[in-house]
Each structure stands twice: as C-alpha cells, then as structure tokens.
C-alpha cells in the first residue's frame, strides 16, 4: 500500500483563503500590508523566487515592491537601502533574497532588518523569541511544515521526531517548533553516528540537508511521516540514475526539460515505506511562499497592535 501524499498545493490554497479574510479586515481599517523584496544581482533562481513572491502578493491583494540592484553593490549601500525600508511605515515586511554576492556581509545585512519587519524570521531577536516560545515571526519553511502536519492531522505531541540537517533556516527552527508542540526531537547532521539507525526511530522524519535522494529506505520507519525539504535539480543522466531506482520516466523528463527535480528523500522508497510523505515538487515548496505571505500579514498586525489606530496609506 502506497504512502499518503501530503499535498502542499492544497494546503497552500487553504492558507491563502484564510489570509484573504485577514487582509480584507486590515484594509477595512485603512491599511494594506506591504512587502519589499530586495534582489541583488542576476541569479536566475533568485529571480524566479522573487518573481513568484511578488506574484503571490498580487494575487492576495498585498502591496509589494521589487527592488533590483546590480551585483556590484557593496555592504554599506545595501545597509542604506535596508535602513530606508525600516523607516517606511507602509512596508511591513522586508525580504532580502539570498544568496547575496560574495563581497556583501550577508549577516550584517540580515541583522540590520527591523525585527518587526523580518518576514523571513532570520533576525536573532526573532530566533530568540522562537527559542523562548514567544510570539514573533518564524522562518517560513519550518512554519509551513507545521501547517502541513496540523492540517493533515499528523499527531505531533508525544511523537518521536528526527530532523536531518541543522541549518539556521530550516533544521534548527524546525526542531524548536516540533519541541514546542511536545514532540521528542533529535537533530542529526553529517557527523551523527549510525544516522540511518537514528532516523529510522522517527515517527516524523524531516529531511533538510540538501543532498539528492540521500534518505533511503533504511532511514524510514514503516508508517512514518516523511517531510522532504530538499529541492535538488539534476542536470545529467548519471545524476538521475543515481537518484531513482527506476530512472526511465525521470530520464524522459531530463531530455524534455533539461533537468529533473528530486528531494533529499529517495521518492520510491518514501512511497513504499512511509505512512505519509511530501512529494517533490508539490510538497513543502508551495508552503514556503504561503507562510511568507502569512508573516507579512502577521507583521502588519504586530507592528500596529490590535487596538492601535491604523492610518491610511498616503
């Protein structure tokens, strides 16, 4: 019996429908939540990501600005732009698209963003709020995964959860969110001994290490929920054959499109052994942008306060 597919696109649509009601209520009080997306250089993937985020804003009726800067910009110039956005009241969320060019001090730039407008949830103050369990803005991908679990009625309280990957963007905040929902959490990484054995004890397994089809059948406990955060683009036939047991259909896609997407989990193994899993594409990915929109709306509410009078955009 095949695993249940956790449809990220369906859950994204549910969240966006709920956000539409929140946005309408805010507009009735005289404000349209606003997002500024800062794009530096001409990284094709970054351009696609920013374009999709701006498009999502438009579809929900949010105000958005896309600010494009040449790759030659330096740290001080970018800090000046962030400072300007911090002071603009009609901007509720600031998104600095990563990666930034090597000459820019990315940490300084991200820490310069007003924590109240940090819709990526990367600022140390927001990370501190997450650690303490206080209200704040949470990294979008982990927040989206929690929505997948909740809306798919996957029990978290009391569950054994294993997070493979310890990045500041996904792994660490994911572990904290699961912990706050009363899971027993283990974080694994490249130096974890007997990694497949540890992973195979999980009721909920989150794979977020950026290695194509790394998590195979021996990592998965029968019936476990497997959350695949990876988004790896394969561009050669050799890579495709290594990632898939039956590579015939992926090879046809490679020939037609020039690349094939695969997550961090071997997809055929997940289908056969897991109880539920998120496919790639169509699983976690759609939730990341949905939660960015949710954070922008949340920031608009938190910045103004429920009782504070909201001035109209001028």
State yes or no: is 118 an active-site residue.
no
Q: 53, 117, 273, 298: which one is catalytic?
A: 53
Q: Residue 90 — φ and ψ, nearest 5°?
A: -80, -5
HEC letters along the chain:
CCCEECCHHHHHHHHHHHHHHHHHHHHHCCCCCEEEEEEECCCHHHHHHHHHHHHHHHHHCCEEEEEEECCCCCHHHHHHHHHHHHHCCCCCEEEECCCCCCCCCHHHHHHHCCHHHCCCCCCHHHHHHHHHCCCCCCCHHHHHHHHHHHHCCCCCCCCEEEEECCCCCCHHHHHHHHHHCCCEEEEECCCCCCHHHHHCCCCEEEECCCCCCCECHHHCCCCCEEEECCCEEECCHHHHHHHCCCCHHHHHHHHHHCCEEECCECHHHHHHHCCEECCCCCCCHHHHHHHHHHHHHHHHHHHHCCCCCCCCCC
Beta bridge partners of 39: 68
State yes or no: is 120 an active-site residue.
yes
Spatial separation of the C-alpha atoms in residues 262 and 211, rounded to whole Å: 9
Q: 16, 92, 97, 203: which one is catalytic?
A: 97
CB 168 within 8 Å of CB 138: no
Structure token pair of residue 254: 């490679």
Structure token pair of residue 199: 């992973």
Structure token pair of residue 209: 């290490």
Q: 92, 120, 203, 269: which one is catalytic?
A: 120
State yes or no: is 53 an active-site residue.
yes
Would you please indicate which residues are annotated as catalytic (active-site) residues?
53, 97, 120
């Amino acid at each position: 019996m095949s695993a249940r597919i956790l449809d990220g696109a369906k859950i994204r649509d549910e969240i966006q429908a709920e956000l539409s009601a929140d946005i309408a209520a805010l507009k009735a009080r005289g404000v349209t939540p606003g997002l500024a997306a800062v794009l530096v250089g001409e990284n094709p993937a970054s351009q696609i990501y920013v374009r999709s985020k701006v498009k999502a804003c438009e579809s929900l009726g949010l105000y958005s600005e896309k600010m494009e800067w040449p790759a030659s910009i330096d740290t001080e110039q970018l800090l000046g732009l962030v400072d300007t956005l911090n002071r603009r009241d009609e901007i509720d969320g600031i998104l600095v698209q990563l990666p930034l060019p090597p000459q820019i001090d990315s940490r300084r730039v991200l820490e310069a963003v007003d924590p109240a407008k940090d819709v990526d949830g990367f600022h140390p103050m927001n990370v501190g709020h997450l650690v303490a369990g206080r209200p704040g803005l949470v990294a979008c991908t982990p927040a989206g995964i929690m929505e997948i679990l909740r809306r798919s009625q996957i029990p978290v309280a009391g569950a054994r959860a294993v997070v493979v990957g310890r990045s500041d963007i996904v792994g660490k905040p994911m572990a904290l969110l699961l912990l706050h929902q009363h899971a027993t959490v283990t974080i694994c990484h490249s130096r974890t001994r007997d990694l497949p054995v540890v992973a195979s004890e999980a009721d909920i397994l989150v794979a977020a290490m950026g290695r194509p089809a790394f998590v195979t059948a021996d990592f998965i406990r029968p019936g476990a929920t497997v959350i695949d955060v990876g988004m790896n683009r394969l561009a050669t036939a050799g890579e495709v054959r290594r990632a898939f047991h039956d590579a015939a259909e992926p090879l046809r896609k490679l020939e037609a499109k020039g690349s094939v997407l695969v997550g961090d989990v071997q997809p055929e193994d997940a289908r056969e052994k897991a109880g539920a899993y998120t496919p790639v594409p169509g699983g976690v990915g759609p939730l990341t942008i949905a939660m960015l929109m949710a954070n922008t709306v949340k920031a608009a509410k938190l910045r103004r306060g429920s009782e504070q009078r909201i001035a109209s955009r001028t």
